[in-house]
Amino acid sequence: MTAVATGHPAPLHPAIPSEPAAPAVVEISGLSTVFGKGDQAFTVHQNLDLTVRRGEILSLVGGSGTGKTVLLRHILGLTQPTAGSVTVLGEPAARLTGKGAASRVGMLFQQGALFSAFNVLDNIAFALREQGTLPSRVVCDAAMVKLQMVGLKPEHASRMPADLSGGMVKRVALARALVMDPPLLLLDEPTAGLDPNSSDDFCDLLRELHASLGLTVVMVTHDLDTIFALSTRVAVLAERRVIVSGTPQEVVRFDHPFIQHFFLGERGQRAMAPVPADASGDKDR
């Protein structure tokens, strides 16, 4: 990537998501996941294909138990699919969790997963400090910058995770995920458990970071407001595969009971209302 590419005179929804030129960051093909053995076995994914291109904000949507979080864990290389391949940044996902993983992918866990024995600053600086090269002053400063980029104040740096509110935990977790500026960011329910205000703030923050860092984002969410506010593309998981993926507008028009129920219920209507028809996609497909 050149300086120009890092650079991001980007609009709020930068790259046109479905533009074929953008290279694939995540490629999932023929993926199957089976849990349990024998009689107890149940299939979560079957022959699932999904590609995430650079600069996209992809929302993974699906009912409970459709394996959204499992899919994220496959992408992270934390779990291995029963069959199929997951390629992240041109390499098999299984190799992702090795040395330098923090510079390739960032993950925001649903509960934050902050290290409860470290204070906020040490949580953020952990991956950077573990490399053992940079002077501690630079590491501290870099962590402080990330801390403030996610909207926290310097005086929060010395707090312990147990003393943080839910929204702050998410922010610290996001700062920790971003400390090495990874090109790919995975979010598991980023706004779950936040009040509407914090949730909106968090969306704004993600949008800003996406624009300024040129991130590719994959998120699992149930929050319709977040989906419409942020995502450039929505992939719907049902029937053990991705039944449709496209801009929110395209997905809403797809005829499937889950989508009808999920998007076109009362809550969906309310969330969609403020979104103009062409807000998140301007290309005919």
Partner 1 sequence: MARWPHLSCTAFPSIDLATCCLLMTDPQPRIERADTPDGPSAALLGRWGAAELGTRSQWLALSRQLADQPSGPGLGWDLRDIAWLDHVGAQLLWNHWGRAWPARLQLHDAQRDMLERVAQFSTEEPPRDTWTLSQQVDRLGVLVLHALDHGRQMTEMLGQLVLDIGRLLRNPRRGPWRDVSGHLYRMGATALPITALVGFLIGVVLAYLMSLQLRQFGAETFIVNILGISLVRELGPMLGAILVAGRSGSAITAQIGVMRVTEELDAMRVLGIPHGFRLVMPRVLALAIAMPLIALWTTLAALGGGMLAADIAMGISPAYFVQALPAAVSPSNLWMAMLKSVVFGAGIALIGCHWGLRVKPNTQSLGEGTTASVVTAITMVIVVDALFAIGFKNMGIR
Which residues of the shown chain bind partner 1 in the complex (CB under 8 A)? Answer: 1-9, 100, 102-104, 115-117, 128, 131-135, 137-138, 140-142, 144-149, 154, 157-158, 160-162, 179-181, 212
For residue 126, the minimal CB distance to partner 1 (Å) is 12
For residue 254, the minimal CB distance to partner 1 (Å) is 36
Q: Which is nearer to partner 1, 134 or 243 (CB)?
A: 134
Q: Which is nearer to partner 1, 67 or 214 (CB)?
A: 214
**3-class state of residue 155 by DSSP:** helix
Q: Which is nearer to partner 1, 181 or 250 (CB)?
A: 181
The answer to whether 238 touches 258, Cβ cutoff 8 Å, is: yes
Q: Concatenated DSSP letters for 161-223?
A: GGGS-HHHHHHHHHHHHHTT--SEEEEESTTTT--HHHHHHHHHHHHHHHHHHT-EEEEE---
Secondary structure element (H or E) that encloses residue 242, with its range: strand 241-246
> Would you call 259 exposed, middle or buried from its count of C-beta atoms within 10 A (0-12, 13-18, 19+)?
buried
For residue 97, the minimal CB distance to partner 1 (Å) is 15
Please tell me the number of Cα atoms within 13 Å of 218 on its side-chain side.
30
Q: Which is nearer to partner 1, 159 or 241 (CB)?
A: 159
Q: Which is nearer to partner 1, 7 or 196 (CB)?
A: 7
For residue 279, the minimal CB distance to partner 1 (Å) is 25
For residue 194, the minimal CB distance to partner 1 (Å) is 18
Q: Which is nearer to partner 1, 3 or 273 (CB)?
A: 3
The answer to whether 252 touches 259, Cβ cutoff 8 Å, is: yes
Distance of CA 6 to the CA centre of its chain: 19
Residue owning tokens 């209507």: 269
Alpha helices per DSSP H over the chain? 3-6, 68-76, 120-130, 136-149, 166-178, 196-213, 224-230, 248-253, 257-263, 266-272
* Radius of gyration of the chain from its Cα atoms, rounded to whole angstroms: 19
Residue owning tokens 């301007």: 282
Q: Which is nearer to partner 1, 147 or 271 (CB)?
A: 147
Tokens of 140: 């501290």
Q: Which is nearer to partner 1, 48 or 93 (CB)?
A: 93
